[in-house]
Amino acid sequence: MPLEKEKNKEKIVKTSPDFPMMVSIFILLIFGLLMVFSASSLGGGSLGEEGDIFYYFTRQTVWAGLGLVAFFMMMNVPLTIIKRLTPLYLLFVIATLVAVLYIGVGAAEYGAARWLYIGPVRFQPSELAKLGIVFLLAGLLSYWKENIRLFIPHFLVSVIIIGIFSLLILMEPDLGTTFVVATTGFFMLFIAGAHLVQLGLLSLGGLSLAIWSISNSSYQMRRLEIFKNPLLDPLDGGYQIIQGLYAIGSGGITGLGLGNSRQIYWVPQKHTDFIFAILAEETGLIGAGLVVMMFILFTVRGFIIAKRAPSLYMRYLAFGLTYAIAIQAFVNVAVVTNLIPTTGITLPFISYGGTSLLISMAASGIILNVSRYVKESNP
């Protein structure tokens, strides 16, 4: 009778969520609430617009509460449910992305119609799309596995999906979120093992399209010129970045203290897209550095969680969601510090904005959900 070889069997067990990532999330959330109040309560913020210094802070606190509900719910819901509900979620996302092009609001204030109303609630469909592209690609890539290397149909279908999401958001127009969604999809294809030649051609095509779009738009060309030298138009096109840099520079090492910003009267969108400038002014290099370190910690832990995930679907979910939040944070800080041309995009967990905060918290909950599943070997 032949001897039977014993094989180690692996089973998936559930553990506690990743503690370092959870710490980074809650530090950023607390920082965000403090800064929304500080940046919006003076200098023509909520006091000037609504007559109530707690106007934006109160609403952000409500959204933070809803975000925490979404966070803990996503951290505990079976991931199979998310996978099953993805088609319905995608139908809703696509429908709202199309609807915002016709009945969206916000063009008067921000030059782009990015918001929809459902009853009294105003939300941004493009924020929902960040989850949508990750959910869809995670499901497809985990099913296709190494077949993603086949140009037709797998790689081509993935590119078309990324293109549809990106085009709908670009038409609002929302260049910042378009970049986040498009590069998130690209990153997930890279992680899934797509051929570098295919990814290189995709990058070249995207870059060529961007250059063509900018070169054929006098507005974008002007924005590029101002990026290179904001002093070309210090009272209009370069005004926001100049005032933001003044705020960052005046913060020094330790900052002026919460509520003591001097540039708060001059920095446009000080509690949304440019909140990092006020944060750096009031908390200095120490506070700004802490926020950047928390985003780095969040990113590193997210990628470690993804690498250790026991299934391809979980891996792609964690990689995609971590990247989407990390690249958005990088773009926001890079814009405020004039490392890249100005584009409207919020700083995750920090900036005022209900949809952005809710989606960031839900995405973080899913990443931590993945962190709870580990493989355990049985002899």
Between 102 and 366, where is the model more confident? 366
What whole-number distance in Å separates Cα of residue 93 and Cα of residue 141? 20
pLDDT digits (tens, 9 = 90+) for 213-224: 777 767 677 778
- Residue 168 has a pLDDT of 93
Residue 6 falls inside a structural domain = no
Residue 138 falls inside a structural domain = yes
Helix axes 156-170, 175-192, angle to 10 degrees: 170
- Residue 48 has a pLDDT of 45
pLDDT digits (tens, 9 = 90+) for 348-361: 999 999 999 999 99
pLDDT digits (tens, 9 = 90+) for 291-345: 999 999 999 999 999 999 999 999 999 999 999 999 999 999 999 999 998 888 9
Residue 318 falls inside a structural domain = yes
Residue 72 falls inside a structural domain = yes
Give how many domains the chain has, as a whole number.
Answer: 1
pLDDT digits (tens, 9 = 90+) for 98-149: 999 888 776 545 656 788 888 778 889 999 999 999 999 999 999 998 889 8
Residue 379 falls inside a structural domain = no
| pLDDT-wise least confident of 10-14, 54-58, 128-132, 318-322 | 10-14
Give the residues across from 122 on adjacent strands.
117
Residue 8 falls inside a structural domain = no
Residues 26-36 have a mean pLDDT of: 96
Q: Which residue has the tokens 């006098």?
A: 218
Residues 194-211 have a mean pLDDT of: 86
CA atoms within 13 A on the CB side of 288: 28
Residue 2 falls inside a structural domain = no
Instruction: Tell the burial category of 364 from Cβ atoms under 10 Å away from its Cβ (0-12, 13-18, 19+).
Output: buried
Note down the domain range covering 115: 14-374
- Residue 20 has a pLDDT of 97
Residue 287 falls inside a structural domain = yes
